[in-house]
């Protein structure tokens, strides 16, 4: 195997095996464990047994090491993970028990060049468990989560291994290491310390038990959330109840009903994991809207087999206990210490700045909607949360004279991808894309693209998996199957995932503007992975602080609305005509519309995340009071505005049960950097190769090899401020 189990991955595997959470993008792990020496590749079985060889345990002979998806069966993962962990244990023991005095090469570099089989198998498993799960994969996930947790602890808490790292750390000023190597040594030391390496043996035993239980609970939570999002789909037995939806949307609802073996004449609206649901913008029948929205909001908080409240309560308590053991007041203190924000108070200050502005804007938008309801409805009613999307769309139509149905024909998926996303990448970085239909995938909807440098050199692969399905987690995200580092070589293989509803057979995929910008966003993560050019695997690709990882992808969203890029992809799917300039102007003018709502629903979820993780173990409420706690948070922060619920309510807040615990603030924190960067780009050339190369050289290729804020200053030459993001969202004007 040519890939490596880098310092960041093992912890990530433990988290993902524990909970296939729903980050909209790659999330660095809470606390990764270090790897061990390289494992030898498992040789192919001799002739008679060749067909029985587990394809996960041999080196892929496909281009760029693409996994042989056509040969991999779900059951292969159980054996492969067991074998990989056994190999890894032997490798760790060899490093820890090395009789030679510790050196940077025989200890730190040895661990960097290690764990190849587990890296490969673990990436594969975590990616497929999220994108294409099955009963078998979920069984393996439940079985392996506590084993992976124990395996991680065996490394983190190995006293002989830590002694070698500690010795080198104490000698670091005498080792004459280059900057990246010194940073790596310091990273290893602090990660071991934060993982419990300095605890007593009794405390280590307690920590192991906490980590084991958290792994099991994380798995249970993620599987309950996925099960309920499917079981909570809303069934209608009357087409009239779906008035306002397009013929294509209704056909999809009928197809979903047929797939569930319901009688003809039934329709099923499936749910996403967010609180809001896309059909709410279209459904004319208020009762239908209410049914869909309440089904969404009540997930996980009812006394049934999908109830997650007790899991949430226990997870928060265990995290709080673990934080105290490791020397921190709360889990939020523990988590934020290693982020660019740096402290609980910094994040709380940011929330205190944004919350009142966001909710003042949301209430003003709500007043406009209420005015429209009063004017247009024969029997006016008070605005409720299930009404917002429907009437906000009407307000937008009135104010900007367009609706989604007018612009969707200009946003056909393939055209947006090739003539928008790929076009902008070629203009900025000189890279080009060629579809590889000859390579295997894990699902018929997945496509493979080979990526080439400007000189024609192969750079890597990108897999696109853009349609929703019942065995795929919600949201949008990027992942890596392979990473590149100068130490080990290799080429990156990345995945780009969305959840766009798939149209009926033969019909085009017409996107909303939000889906268009999401596609650009996730591609921003992809190029972060593709361009990685660091010495050590621990710093490769998106191995950066959680509140920095969204920054490059949020910057990339700007190209969706860049005039030259828009003109190249916003073409009518039937006539090929460009979107009319007057319509385009109205679309762009409307970008700040409804931003009070968008910011308020997001920031309330971010505050809820922080409030949960700033509790001590004794302060965590019982399971039956979980929703009361959330309601109290909303009231105390003056966010209790009923028409705008949090984007995620606690029982289905998958981000914070996974890698974004005390980290959901990251999106707006990254957007602060993003908004300032967009200003810099507009001032310094815009869509050209010089701009793209500067972004690649200072940010995209550097991964975590340097402090994140130093990277930002290398790019922008200045410190960011919060005003640009508030101005972008229309929450303050340029003169405030």
First to last CA, the chain: 57
Cβ-based neighbour number of residue 669 at 10 Å: 27
Helix (H, G, I), strand (E, B) or coil at 299: coil
Helix (H, G, I), strand (E, B) or coil at 498: strand
Do 19 and 144 form a contact (C-beta atoms < 8 A)?
no
Do 37 and 91 form a contact (C-beta atoms < 8 A)?
yes
Give catalytic status of residue 294 as yes or no.
no
With b for 16 or more beta-carbon neighbours within 10 A and e for fewer, the 192-212 pattern comes to bbbbbbbbeeeebeebbebbb
Task: Find the catalytic residue in 37, 522, 601, 671.
Answer: 522
In the beta sheet, which residues pair with residue 595?
none
Residue 497 sits at φ, ψ, to 5 deg, of -120, 130
Strands (E), 625-728: none
Interior CA angle at 335 toward 334 and 338, to 5°?
A: 100
Cβ-based neighbour number of residue 112 at 10 Å: 26
Give, for 524, the enclosing helix (H) or strand (E): helix 513-530
Q: Please give the Cα distance from 344 to 341 (Å, whole number).
A: 8
Do 211 and 9 form a contact (C-beta atoms < 8 A)?
no
Exposure of 376 by Cβ count < 10 A (0-12 exposed, 13-18 middle, 19+ buried)? exposed
Exposure of 246 by Cβ count < 10 A (0-12 exposed, 13-18 middle, 19+ buried)? middle
Interior CA angle at 441 toward 41 and 127, to 5°?
A: 65
CA-based nearest residue to 556, from 25, 23, 105: 25
Q: Please give the Cα distance from 655 to 644 (Å, whole number).
A: 20
Return the percent helix, strand and coil in the chain, to nearest 5. 55, 5, 35
With b for 16 or more beta-carbon neighbours within 10 A and e for fewer, the 674-712 pattern comes to bbbbbbbbeeeebbeeebbebbbebbbbbbbbbebeebb
CA-based nearest residue to 196, from 235, 156, 247, 241: 156
Q: How many CA atoms lie within 13 A of 383 on its CB side?
A: 24
Sheet holding 477-482, edge to edge: 432-435, 447-452, 458-467, 493-500, 477-482
CA-based nearest residue to 566, from 548, 547, 587: 587
Kindly compute the dihedral angle of the four CA atoms of residues 6, 7, 10, 11, in this order, to the nearest 10 degrees: -150
CA-based nearest residue to 56, from 88, 87, 90, 79: 79
Strands (E), 387-546: 432-435, 447-452, 458-467, 477-482, 493-500
Render 317-370 in DSSP notation, one character per residue.
HHHHHHHHHTT-SSHHHHHHTTSSS-SHHHHHHHHHHHHHHHHHHHHHHHHHHH
Q: Pairing mode, if any, of strands 477-482 and 267-269?
A: unpaired
Render 206-247 in DSSP notation, one character per residue.
HHHHHHHHHHHHHHHHHHHHHHHHHHTPEEES-GGGGTTS-H
In order of 106, 167, 186, 247, the CA distances from 101 in angstroms are 9, 9, 19, 72
Catalytic residues: 522
């Amino acid at each position: 195997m040519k890939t490596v189990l880098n310092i960041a991955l093992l912890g990530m595997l433990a988290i993902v095996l524990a909970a296939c959470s729903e980050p909209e993008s790659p999330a660095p792990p809470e606390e990764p464990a270090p790897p061990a020496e390289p494992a030898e590749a498992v040789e192919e079985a001799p002739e008679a047994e060749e067909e029985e060889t587990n394809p996960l345990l041999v080196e892929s002979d496909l281009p760029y090491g693409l996994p042989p998806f056509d040969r991999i069966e779900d059951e292969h993962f159980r054996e492969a993970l067991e074998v990989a962990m056994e190999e890894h244990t032997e490798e760790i023991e060899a490093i820890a028990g090395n009789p030679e005095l510790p050196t940077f090469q025989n200890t730190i570099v040895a661990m960097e060049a290690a764990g190849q089989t587990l890296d490969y198998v673990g990436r594969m498993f975590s990616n497929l468990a999220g994108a294409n799960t099955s009963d078998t994969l979920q069984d393996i996930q439940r079985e392996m989560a506590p084993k992976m947790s124990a395996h991680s602890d065996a490394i983190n808490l190995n006293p002989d291994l830590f002694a070698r790292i500690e010795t080198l750390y104490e000698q670091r000023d005498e080792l004459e290491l280059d900057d990246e190597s010194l940073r790596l040594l310091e990273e290893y030391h602090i990660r071991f310390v934060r993982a419990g390496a300095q605890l007593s043996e009794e405390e280590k035993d307690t920590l192991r038990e906490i980590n084991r239980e958290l792994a099991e609970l994380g798995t249970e939570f993620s599987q309950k959330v996925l099960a309920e999002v499917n079981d909570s789909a809303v069934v209608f037995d009357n087409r009239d109840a779906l008035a306002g939806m397009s013929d294509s949307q209704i056909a999809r609802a009928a197809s979903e009903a047929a797939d569930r073996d319901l009688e003809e004449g039934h329709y099923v609206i499936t749910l996403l994991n967010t609180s809001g649901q896309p059909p709410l913008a279209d459904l004319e029948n208020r009762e239908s809207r209410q049914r869909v929205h309440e089904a969404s909001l009540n997930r996980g908080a009812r006394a049934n087999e999908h109830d997650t409240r007790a899991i949430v309560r226990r997870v928060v308590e265990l995290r709080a206990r673990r934080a105290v053991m490791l020397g921190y007041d709360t889990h939020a203190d523990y988590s934020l210490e290693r982020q660019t924000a740096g402290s609980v108070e910094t994040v709380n200050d940011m929330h205190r700045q944004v919350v009142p502005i966001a909710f003042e804007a949301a209430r003003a938008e709500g007043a406009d909607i209420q005015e429209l309801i009063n004017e247009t409805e024969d029997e006016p009613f008070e605005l409720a949360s299930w009404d917002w999307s429907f009437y906000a769309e009407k307000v937008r139509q009135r104010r900007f004279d367009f609706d989604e149905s007018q612009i969707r024909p200009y946003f056909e998926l393939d055209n947006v991808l090739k003539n928008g996303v790929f076009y902008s990448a070629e203009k900025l970085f000189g890279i080009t894309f060629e579809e590889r239909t000859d390579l295997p995938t894990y699902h018929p909807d997945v496509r493979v693209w080979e990526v080439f440098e400007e000189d024609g050199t192969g750079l890597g692969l990108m897999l696109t998996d853009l349609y929703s399905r019942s065995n795929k987690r919600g949201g949008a995200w990027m992942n890596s199957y392979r990473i590149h580092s100068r130490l080990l070589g290799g080429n990156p293989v990345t995945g780009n995932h969305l959840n766009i509803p798939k149209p009926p057979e033969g019909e085009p995929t017409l996107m909303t503007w939000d889906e268009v910008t999401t596609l650009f966003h996730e591609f921003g993560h992809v190029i972060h992975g593709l361009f990685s050019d660091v010495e050590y695997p621990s710093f490769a690709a998106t191995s950066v602080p959680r509140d920095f990882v969204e920054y490059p992808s949020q910057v990339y969203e700007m190209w969706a609305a860049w005039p030259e890029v828009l003109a190249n992809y916003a073409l009518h799917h039937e006539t090929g005509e460009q979107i009319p300039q007057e319509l385009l102007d109205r679309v762009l003018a409307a970008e700040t519309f409804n931003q009070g709502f968008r910011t308020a629903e997001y920031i309330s979820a971010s505050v809820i995340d922080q409030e949960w993780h700033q509790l001590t173990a004794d302060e965590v409420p019982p399971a039956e009071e979980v929703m009361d706690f959330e309601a109290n948070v909303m009231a105390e922060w003056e966010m209790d505005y009923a028409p705008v619920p949090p984007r995620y309510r606690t029982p289905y807040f998958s981000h914070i049960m996974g890698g974004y615990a005390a980290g959901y603030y990251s999106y707006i924190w990254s957007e602060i950097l993003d908004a300032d960067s967009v200003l810099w780009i507009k001032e310094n050339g815009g869509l050209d190769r010089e701009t793209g190369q500067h972004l690649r050289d200072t940010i995209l290729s550097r991964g975590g090899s340097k402090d994140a804020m130093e990277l930002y200053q290398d790019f922008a030459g200045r410190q960011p401020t919060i005003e640009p993001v508030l101005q972008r969202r229309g929450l303050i004007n340029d003169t405030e």
